[in-house]
Amino acid sequence: MTGFLVRRLLITAVLIWLVTTVVFMFVRLLPGDPASAILGASESFQPTEAALVTVRQRLGLDRPVPEQYLTYIGGLLRGDLGESLTSGRPVTLDLRLRLGRTLQLMVPALLLSSFLGIAIGVLAARARGRILDPILSVIGLVGFSVPVFVIGNVMVLILAIQLEWLPSSGYIDFTQDPVRSLRYMVMPTIALALAPLAVTMRMTRTTVVEELGLDYVRTARAKGLGERILIYRHVLKNAMLRSSRSSGCRWALPSRGRSSSSTCSTGPASDGCFCRLSTRATIRSSRGRCCCSRRSSFSSTSPRISPTPT
């Protein structure tokens, strides 16, 4: 077991090194001059060469690429991500400020999708061959196929605008007012949980159905073991060993730098309850490293809901 963990850790370290190296090289291959973009160069305005040189020196872009790469890796190893060009604060500080709100959404959504997905999956497996099984399968397929921003729009339109059950905008810290904070978190949490819930339900159903066809299940039934005890004490335990392998991969999506991932958060800058996702890549530090940041919010200021361009 120790050897397996050591090998996995080594593989993880190599993968992280490869990803950071590829990102560093791709950023260097992008067309355009970061210094000109930072200074707001356009057809009507061209920064002076002295200003461009100053910005390149501040970002470290005037140094050789190998030196920039070593500085980049050294900063990552020390946990120094540089300073954000948009806020002027250290990138690590910006991440810490947003991490708490991310966890406030991710943890409840993870628990909701895991427990409810397992329960519905077991129910679908036990109802195999009956009308309930295809109904639950269709519901799971819809939950997995519909994008999270569509689900967010529908929930805002129904729950916030028409029924007025939940607030459509704002954020309140949990320590200030727990009840109101939970009301603001209901819609984004459900929107985040639906797709993983559908996947968990489908995988649980598949693994439970496979387990029910094995010899030990037939033997237990022949000995008179109750169906409920058989499923929840024996079958489900073995089925979860296989279906739980992909749970970490499913919940790594919101934290990865890919445009198809989706995270829903509310904060001081949120205008309301429309769920959108955007991915922006900017040069974040004086060492020329790239930091991908995602910002998503629920916003709705009128009954007509439309995406706000990033």
Each of the 310 residues of the chain gets a pLDDT tens digit; together they read 688 888 989 999 999 999 999 988 888 888 878 788 778 788 788 888 888 888 888 888 888 888 989 988 888 888 888 777 766 788 888 888 778 788 888 888 888 888 898 899 999 998 888 899 889 888 888 888 888 888 888 888 998 888 888 888 778 888 888 888 888 888 888 888 888 888 888 888 988 998 888 899 889 989 888 888 888 888 888 888 766 666 656 665 544 433 333 333 444 333 333 333 333 333 433 333 333 333 333 333 333 333 333 3
Q: Helix, strand, coil % (nearest 5) of the chain?
A: 65, 5, 35
Is pTM, for the whole model, over 0.85? no
Closest CA to 288 of 27, 18, 20, 78: 27
Rounded to whole angstroms, the Cα distance separating 143 from 116 reads 13
As a residue count, the chain comes to 310
* pLDDT, position 244: 67
